[in-house]
Amino acid sequence: VARAVARRAKAFGLHVIAYDPFIEELVAIEHGVEPVSLPELLQRADIISMHAPATESANRLIREEHFRQMKKTAIYISTGRGPTTDEAALIKALDEGMITAAGLDVLEQEPPGDNNPLLRMDNVILTAHVASASSRFDPARRRRVGQELSLVLSGKWPMSCVNPSVLAKTDLKRWQPVSMERGPNS
């Protein structure tokens, strides 16, 4: 993921720096990326894009002290796993202006509770943990869409529906014995 992000960032003329304790410096340089320490990355980067997996060593890798080292104009993006960022520290950093904004595809708790402050912040963009959704990464989703379309085109209810109350208003036939309140496949 990090290499793909770096390649795209370079295409926009951005200078890419990176910190990764598990990748040799030569690999980064090979891809036109300047390897730096974590403190240097935090101090220099305008956009920080986090892609760490959920491992014990990456748990809450980015904490309040890290947000304090970032530029006040920094944008923090997290697409790896939610537990890699201390969410309370991120909320504090956004509230107190330690950083400017955040783009998050992952949260510590998914789905987030209704009381999660990130849901109401104007300087946060959230996606529903779908950053990797593409034909290359998700053949099961493509199959599922095909199955759903096949059902609808053959005059039957789909297996799942975001708004199941609309199904009763169609000519589609119920093929599963379920309550309308729960949806056809709940």
Q: Is 65 helix (H, G, I), strand (E, B) or coil?
A: helix
Which residues are identified as catalytic?
81, 110, 129
Q: Which two tokens stand for residue 178?
A: 């379920």
- Alpha carbons 21 and 36: distance in angstroms, whole number: 10
Buried-exposed string 122-155: b where 16+ CB fall within 10 A, e elsewhere? eebebeebebeeeeeeeeeeeeeeeebeebeeee
- In terms of Cβ atoms closer than 10 Å to its own Cβ (0-12, 13-18, 19+), residue 86 is buried
Q: Which two tokens stand for residue 161?
A: 């529906």
